[in-house]
Amino acid sequence: MKLSDQFIFISGGTRGIGRAITLFQSREGVTIFLNYLRDDESALKVKKEAESKGATVHLLPGNVGDPESVQNIFKEMGEKTKRLDVLIHSAALGVFKPVSQLRVKDWDISLDVNAKALLTLTQGALPLMKPHGGKIVAISSLGSGRFTPNYGAIGISKAALEILVKYLAVELASHKIHVNAVSGGLIDTDSLKMFPQSDEMKKEFLKRTPGGRLGNPEDIAKVVSFLLSPEADWIYGQTIIADGGYSLF
């Protein structure tokens, strides 16, 4: 299977890091199944950009945190393809508040979209991926392993995501399916602007980042592209950190 002939599914692929991944994977001959929650305008814009690079794009709106919605997504995909080569889980959702103030609903939303969705998406993809193998990549964050103020709901769900990646990597290796994750530092996206005291966070991040700048979505998309390439075939169950060196301190 040539990289140019791949069938790729990307959750949360129309904004931020997901958008950058979509555009990095867009090329002649590639078919992309592009999932998003509800922003039709952004989805159509990214679809147009990806198609200008030669990709065939199918939009699949739906909440990947809802198992029934995931079933419907794969049912629709099954009408268009009988194989899937790549699954990328980039969708993320959560609230910014102290853990002690989280509502059960806040907790459930983060775990459902950020962690459980990787499980249900993988289960949906397996019939399309098992016969020939493939690559699965999930997007995590540094909050999975270190305290970040007001980030508990998301950080905890990302920790669950990273452990799930390890289990899936072992269980699916015999089917020639590689499962890995990419974790970024502070990435300059629209979501960052929603974080409490985001300007102060940026200043602190820059003080201790050898790379000397904030990350951008393309930084993460490049690492994802590497994990999808044959050069990464000996990597199983890892979370690759791309944070400009922030986590070294």
User: What would the pLDDT profile of 165-199 be if each residue is shown by its tens digit?
Assistant: 999 999 999 999 999 999 998 999 888 777 777 88
Q: Average pLDDT for residues 125-145, to the nearest whole number?
A: 97
* Active site annotation includes 202: no
Q: pLDDT tens digit string along 53-102?
A: 999 999 999 999 999 999 999 999 999 999 999 999 999 999 999 999 99
Altogether, the residues listed in the chain come to a count of 249
- Provide the pLDDT confidence category of residue 219 given band limits of 50, 70 and 90: very high
Element (H, E) at 11: strand 7-11
Residue 46 structure tokens: 């990214």
Q: List all residues 6 or more positions away from 241 whose beta carbon is below 8 Å from its beta carbon.
A: 142, 183, 184, 247
* Active site annotation includes 151: yes
* Active-site hit among 158, 166, 193, 222: 158
User: Global pTM?
Assistant: 0.95
pLDDT over 70 at 4, yes or no: no
Ramachandran angles phi, psi of 118, nearest 5°: -60, -40
* CA 139 – CA 90 distance, rounded (Å): 5
Mean pLDDT of the chain: 95
Note the pLDDT of residue 2: 55
- Structural domains of the chain, with CATH: 3-242 (3.40.50.720)
Burial-class residue 117 by CB neighbours within 10 Å (0-12, 13-18, 19+): buried
* CA 213 – CA 186 distance, rounded (Å): 9
**Could you give the C-alpha distances from 97 to 4, 5, 49, in angstroms and in order?**
43, 43, 35
* Active-site hit among 2, 151, 167, 202: 151
